[in-house]
Each structure stands twice: as C-alpha cells, then as structure tokens.
C-alpha cells in the first residue's frame, strides 16, 4: 500500500523564462528536503533535471523533467519546464498534470515573454497560480518596483506571502508568523493584512468574524478559503527566494506542503465523458475504488531504454500487473513495471493513487495525450486538448546517405510523438519532407537528436511556405463521368454547389440529394473525390480550405455506376466549380514581437515594412528595451533572425505566433501558379 493518500499529494509545475533559475531552485528544494544529498550545479552539469548532454552543453533546460520530494509528510511532485520560447509547447503540454503553476521570475530582469505566456496558459487551463521571485540577493534589486509590475501584469490579487530583508539575505514571513520589518518593502503587518483581506473575501462567514468581531485569524482557519481563493484566481501568492544564499527555500517548501492544493482541492481537470453530441464533463474522483483513469502528458523515446510514457493518475488505484486499455482500443497491455521519476532515474512503485505522476516503459502503442483506463464498462473519457502554439518554422530535410530514408522516417515520427509542437509533413507534389517547429533553436535541437540519438546524417534547406487555396464566391457545376471499356462500364453524374466559409472553418460537406437521384452508398465516394481535389489544389498545387460543398442532384446507372465513377465525377465537378468561384492563394500571417534596444526602432520598423509587415504598436520593456508588435507574412521572414542580429548587434530577439491566413497579392499568386504548373 502507498504510504500516502491523494490528499497528501501536491503537483506543481515551475514555469517561466530562461534564466529565472527554475532548475537550480529545484536542486535546492530537493537537497533541503533530503531527496538528494547535495545540490547539483548547472555549470558542473550535474543537476537532476538537466541530464541530457545537449542541456549540459547549452546550460539551459530543453525539455521537461519530473522530480519529487517529501516534506511534512506530503508527497510533492515538481515538474521543471524549459524557458525558451522555442520549447513553449513542451512546457504547456504538462499543465494537465498539475493543480498549480508556479511562475519563477528573475528579480533583476523581471517579467519576461515566456513567463507572460505560461501564466496566460495556466489561467486558461483554470490552474491555481503563484509566483516565485528568485535571485533576490542580486545587488540593486528594486523589490517595490517589481511587486508593482507583477500586480500590473497579473492583477492586484498578486500579494506577497513573505518579504525580502537585508538586501535579499533573508525573508520575513507574512502569513504564518508575521512580525518584524523588512528593509526594502512596506511593513510585514501591512502585507499580512492585505493577504488576510484578500482571502476572507471568498468566505462570507469568516469575513464577518474578521470584520465585525475583530478577531485575529489563525492559519488553520484560513486554509480552506485560501484554497478557494487560489481556485478562483482571487489570489496569486508571491514568494521571494534566493538559491544562492538559501533565503526563502524553507518557506517555499512550507508553502508547497501546507497551502498548495492537493488533487481534490484544485479545479477538476477538463475531462469529457462520451462522444459527439452526448459529450458531457465529468469530475474525476479521488476514490481509489473507482475505475482507473490516467492521462499521458509526456512520451520519451530512447533508442536503448525504449519508450517511456509518463502519465498523471486521475482516478482509481493502479497496481503492477494490472491490465490497461489505451483510449477506445480493445486490446489491453500489462503494467509490468510502474515507475516514479527523479530526473532520468526511475524508481519502482508497487501502486499509484489518484494524483500520482508515474510512468510505464516499453509500451509502443501509447501516444501523447492518450487516456489509459482499465475498463470499457463506462463511457470513454478524453481530456480536452491543450492549446499549443502552431509550429511555423520549417526546414526541408533529407538524408545525406542513400539507404537511410527509413531510419530518418522512424526518427522523425518518434520525435513527433514526443513533442506536441513538432510536426512532420510531406509535400507529394514537391517530394519534400518538412519538419516544423516553433523556432530555429527548436529545430536545431531536434536535428542534433536525429544525429546523436538515431545516428542519421541529414541535409536541410529552406522549405516551401505552407500556402493554402480557397474560393471567394459561390459557384455551381456538374460533371458526368461515362466510360465504356468493352466490359462493365463506369457511370456517375454529380451536381454540386460550392461557397466560401470563414477563415479557419476548414471544410464542410452537405448532402441535399433527395428522391434517390444518387444512391446513399455513393455519397461518400463523391466526398472522397472532392477531398482529393482539395488536397491537390486548383491554382498552384496547395491544399484548399474554408469551403462548403453541397451535392444536390445527380444520376446513376443500375449496372455501370460504381464508387470510382462517383469519385471521379465529384472531383471533376468540384474543379469546374472552383474555376468560376474566383480562387485565391492564401498565405500564413504571423504576429511578431521584436524586443530591441530603442535606438534600433527606426531600422527595424523600416525593415519589417519592406517585408510587407505592419506595426501595431510598441511597449516599454525592462532594462531600457522596447517591444515592437506587428504582423507580417511568414514567407517574408525567412532569414529574419540573421537580419535582426545584424541590425541590433546581437541584442535583439523576436517571437512569432500564427495569426491567420490572408490572400496573397496578385503578382505573388501569378508567380506561385506558374511555379505550380511548371
């Protein structure tokens, strides 16, 4: 039996920008709690979380790492996340595994882009949030200014639970045992009162006791409303720490064990029960007697150790030798071994309870986002998919050595299985395989893995842009396919209408055939033909989108009508209709945020305008940096990193996110059409 229950578990993700000290903070927490003997050091390359050779070389986290510790009889699972924008998808993908997201902020640099995006993702996921201000011992840190910027960015509900004193050499508690005065912020008593006022606002009875009777409240009385305030986003505690001198580390451990929600106290995960129109949310129970439900939030493929699938238990008790199903598959697998993770180390578990984070090895059929369960007696459960950034950076890739094509294909698909923001696509017309990620560093790291882990030498070159095609007005057409070959013939006739849909709506197929003009078994064949035409494109060979196709009439022959006849008729009728629907080529437009010293603003805005971009505004960043926000066609940003480095002397950086598709200018459409017909 487990030595702890679901109520003893705390699941916390440390998120935030690169350089905030997340990995070093975890080392201190593990060492202080007794989970490890000595804290590792990033410079030495011996930390628990950054165990990959490339992470040691770059001295930055490139992937998530799972750790655990025990404090005050609580089982605390802490997930370290990478802080580069290029690996944002890996960080976001672990949010379904935790109740709490803790944003770690460098006290000297303040709020940075990845921190903002992760806090927003955690808010959208309805997680409890709190903030850890790290490196408070750096000389000249403006604590009051930082606190003001945190409240400005995330709301007045951001309140300190402790305060730095003696220039960050120690902290003073504002919640459990308030007292004394810090040297750099307003009084502890005021901070304590602010925290109590915020917490009691969610509990009317406690507020009445506090206001009318004027009684001092004890931490035990505040526990439940504190949890409720966290759940409702009414409170975001701020904890000050320094890994360098140990200030605030013990207080942070206490905060984890006493005040952070257990799996029964956090907001329930957005599981759905059933399929289709009957889908309804289900709250997953901590009752260990219920059926097992677990969610796979991370997959790691290792050429030597096999596939490791990491999942969060949401319901039931899982024991070794149990049989589990993957989603709606009817074939089960046996849980031969169950592991708890400490970085790269794997420790055997005999069982897991709701809230546990654990792993199984060498089960090839498990995939990212899969739901594991032990029974088909209940409706199928699935977790609402996490919203990850769209991978836009691309590299066309091929092997350096003939004969390695299959090895490369296997490697790419394993990497795709591990990373929700890495996609592989193959352009049949160009015979081009393209790997897409969130940035140049993202793809660089993946190329290193292909070489080092899978022993495949590759060559890369800029890929074709992911253009699309669509129509701009309604049209109708019909096509009769008739073929006699001496034996059985082919016959199918289709009448259809097409009309444009809103951007991003995809494709809709409507059957309005009545009176048996086309037998029901041939209706899917027409759709198949239409989809073939859409995949091949009508102008320049790019797939089509945002089109509604309505089939409303046709004819068939009792002997000669076959599926292939209606596939062909549907395809030809669709292409004829497209010719009269004023088709256009669409290009991806991205939001771009450029961080730069202000002196380079004129050069950068001029360069962006020359790339068909537009400036939407500017914001002041920290340390005299300026953030330029705008939009630009993705096709115009090829080589932009090099240009930005040249303009700013290496001081500038940028991040992009997909915004929408937009019609290309006429001259570019003509060029693309000529290239597609060549």
Domain 271-383 has CATH 2.40.30.10: yes
pLDDT: is 439 or 411 the higher one?
A: 411
Q: Is the pLDDT of residue 555 over 80?
A: yes
Give me the mean pLDDT over the 135-163 stretch: 93
Which one-letter DSSP state was computed for residue 611? T
CATH of 587-677, one of 3.30.70.100, 3.30.70.240, 3.30.499.10, 3.30.750.24: 3.30.70.240
Strand, helix or coil at 62? coil
pLDDT: is 3 or 307 the higher one?
A: 307
CATH of 393-464, one of 3.40.50.2300, 3.40.605.10, 3.40.50.2000, 3.30.70.870: 3.30.70.870
pLDDT of residue 449: 94
pLDDT digits (tens, 9 = 90+) for 60-103: 999 999 999 999 999 999 999 999 988 999 999 999 999 999 99
Give me the mean pLDDT over the 327-352 stretch: 94
Report whether 91 contacts 63 (CB < 8 A): no
pLDDT of residue 184: 46
Contacts of 666 (CB under 8 A, 6+ apart): none
Q: Which residues of 72-93 are buried (b: 16+ CB within 10 A; e: fewer)?
A: eebbbbbbbbbbbbbbbbbbbb
pLDDT digits (tens, 9 = 90+) for 446-455: 999 999 999 9
Give me the mean pLDDT over the 431-444 stretch: 88
Q: Is the pLDDT of residue 527 over 80?
A: yes
98: its two tokens? 């935790």
Residue 430 — pLDDT band, cuts 50, 70, 90? Answer: low
Q: Is the pLDDT of residue 215 over 70?
A: no
- For 161-170, 496-505, 641-650, which range has the lowest pLDDT when averaged over its residues? 641-650
- For 118-122, 128-132, 287-291, 371-375, which range has the lowest pLDDT when averaged over its residues? 287-291
pLDDT: is 599 or 272 the higher one?
A: 599
393-464 shares the fold of 6-259: no
Q: What is this structure's pTM?
A: 0.77
pLDDT averaged over the chain? 90
**If you count DSSP H runs as helices and E runs as strands, how many of each does the chain have, helices first?**
16, 35
Name the residue ranges covered by the structural domains of the chain: 6-259, 271-383, 393-464, 469-581, 587-677
Residue 153 — pLDDT band, cuts 50, 70, 90? Answer: very high
Which one-letter DSSP state was computed for residue 268? P
Give me the mean pLDDT over the 247-254 stretch: 95
Give me the mean pLDDT over the 380-397 stretch: 81
Instruction: Give the integer Cα–Cα distance in Å for 533 and 545.
Output: 11
pLDDT of residue 90: 95
Bridge partner list, 620: 626
Task: Name the percent of the chain lying above pLDDT 90.
Answer: 67
Q: Is the pLDDT of residue 378 over 80?
A: no
pLDDT of residue 625: 81
Domain 469-581 has CATH 1.10.510.10: no
513: its two tokens? 């055939």
- Give the count of beta carbons closer than 10 Å to the beta carbon of residue 418: 20
Q: Are strands 100-106 and 128-134 parallel, antiparallel or unpaired?
A: parallel
Q: Is the pLDDT of residue 194 over 60?
A: yes
Q: Is the pLDDT of residue 589 over 50?
A: yes
Instruction: Give the integer Cα–Cα distance in Å for 501 and 2.
Output: 55
Residue 271 — pLDDT band, cuts 50, 70, 90? Answer: confident
Name the CATH superfamily, with its identifier, for domain 6-259. Answer: P-loop containing nucleotide triphosphate hydrolases (3.40.50.300)
Q: What share of the chain is helix, strand, coil (3-state, %, to 5)?
A: 30, 30, 40
pLDDT of residue 7: 93
Around 268, how many Cα atoms within 13 Å sit in the side-chain half-sphere?
A: 10
């Amino acid at each position: 039996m487990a030595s702890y229950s679901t109520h003893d578990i705390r699941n916390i993700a440390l998120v935030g920008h690169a350089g905030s000290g997340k990995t070093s903070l975890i080392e201190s927490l593990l060492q202080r709690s007794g989970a490890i003997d000595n804290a590792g050091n990033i410079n030495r390359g011996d930390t628990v979380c950054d165990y990959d050779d490339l992470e040691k070389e770059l001295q930055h986290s490139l992937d998530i790492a799972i750790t655990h510790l025990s404090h005050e009889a609580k089982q605390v699972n802490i997930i370290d996340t990478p802080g580069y924008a290029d690996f944002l998808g890996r960080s976001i993908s672990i949010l379904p595994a935790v109740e709490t997201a803790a944003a770690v902020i460098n006290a000297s640099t303040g709020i940075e882009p990845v921190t903002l995006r992760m806090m927003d993702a955690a808010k959208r996921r309805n997680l409890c949030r709190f903030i850890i201000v790290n490196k408070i011992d750096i000389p000249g840190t403006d604590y009051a200014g930082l606190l003001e910027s945190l409240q400005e960015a995330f709301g007045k509900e951001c309140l300190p639970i402790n305060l730095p004193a003696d220039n960050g050499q120690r902290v003073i508690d504002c919640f459990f045992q308030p007292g004394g005065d810090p040297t750099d912020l307003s009084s502890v008593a005021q901070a304590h009162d602010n925290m109590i006022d915020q917490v009691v606002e969610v509990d009317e009875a406690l507020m009445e006791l506090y206001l009318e009777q004027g009684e001092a409240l004890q931490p035990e009385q505040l526990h439940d409303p504190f949890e409720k305030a966290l759940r409702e986003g009414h409170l975001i505690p701020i904890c000050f720490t320094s890994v360098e001198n140990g200030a605030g580390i013990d207080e942070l451990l206490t905060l984890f064990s006493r005040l952070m929600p257990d799996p029964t106290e956090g907001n329930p995960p957005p599981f759905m029960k059933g399929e289709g129109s009957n889908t309804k949310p289900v709250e997953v129970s901590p009752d260990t007697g219920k059926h097992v439900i677990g969610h796979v939030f991370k997959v790691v493929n290792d050429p030597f150790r096999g596939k490791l699938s990491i999942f969060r238990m949401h319901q039931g008790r899982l024991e070794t030798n149990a049989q589990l199903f993957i989603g709606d598959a009817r074939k089960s697998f046996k849980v031969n071994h169950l592991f708890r993770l400490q970085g790269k180390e794997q420790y055997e578990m005999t069982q897991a309870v709701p809230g546990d984070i654990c792993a199984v090895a060498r089960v090839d059929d498990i995939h990212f986002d899969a739901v594991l369960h032990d029974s088909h007696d209940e409706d199928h459960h699935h977790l609402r998919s996490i919203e990850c950034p769209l991978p836009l950076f691309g590299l066309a890739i091929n092997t350096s050595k003939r004969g390695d094509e299959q090895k490369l294909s296997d490697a790419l698909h394993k990497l795709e299985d591990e990373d929700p923001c890495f996609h592989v696509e193959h352009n049949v017309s160009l015979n081009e395989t393209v790997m897409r990620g969130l940035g140049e560093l993202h793809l660089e790291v993946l190329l290193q893995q292909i070489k080092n882990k899978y022993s495949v030498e590759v060559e890369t070159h800029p890929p074709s842009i992911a253009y699309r095609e669509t129509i701009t007005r309604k049209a109708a057409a019909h096509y009769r396919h008739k073929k006699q070959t001496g034996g059985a013939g082919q016959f199918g006739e289709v009448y259809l209408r097409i009309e444009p849909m809103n951007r991003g709506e995809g494709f809709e197929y409507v059957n309005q055939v009545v009176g048996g003009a086309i037998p029901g078994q041939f209706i899917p064949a027409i759709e198949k033909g239409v989809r073939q035409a859409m995949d091949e494109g009508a102008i320049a060979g790019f797939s089509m989108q945002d089109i509604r196709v309505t089939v409303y009439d046709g004819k068939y022959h009792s002997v000669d009508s076959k599926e292939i006849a209606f596939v062909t008729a549907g395809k030809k009728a669709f292409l004829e209709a497209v010719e009269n629907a004023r088709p256009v080529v669409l290009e991806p437009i991205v939001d771009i945020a450029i961080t730069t010293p202000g002196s380079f603003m004129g050069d950068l805005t001029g360069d962006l305008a020359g790339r068909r971009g537009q400036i939407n505004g500017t914001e002041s960043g920290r340390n005299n940096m300026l953030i330029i926000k705008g939009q630009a066609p993705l096709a115009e940003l090829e080589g932009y990193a090099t240009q930005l480095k040249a303009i700013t002397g290496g001081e500038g950086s940028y991040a992009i996110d997909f915004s929408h598709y937009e019609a290309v200018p006429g001259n570019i459409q003509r060029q693309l059409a000529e290239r597609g017909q060549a």
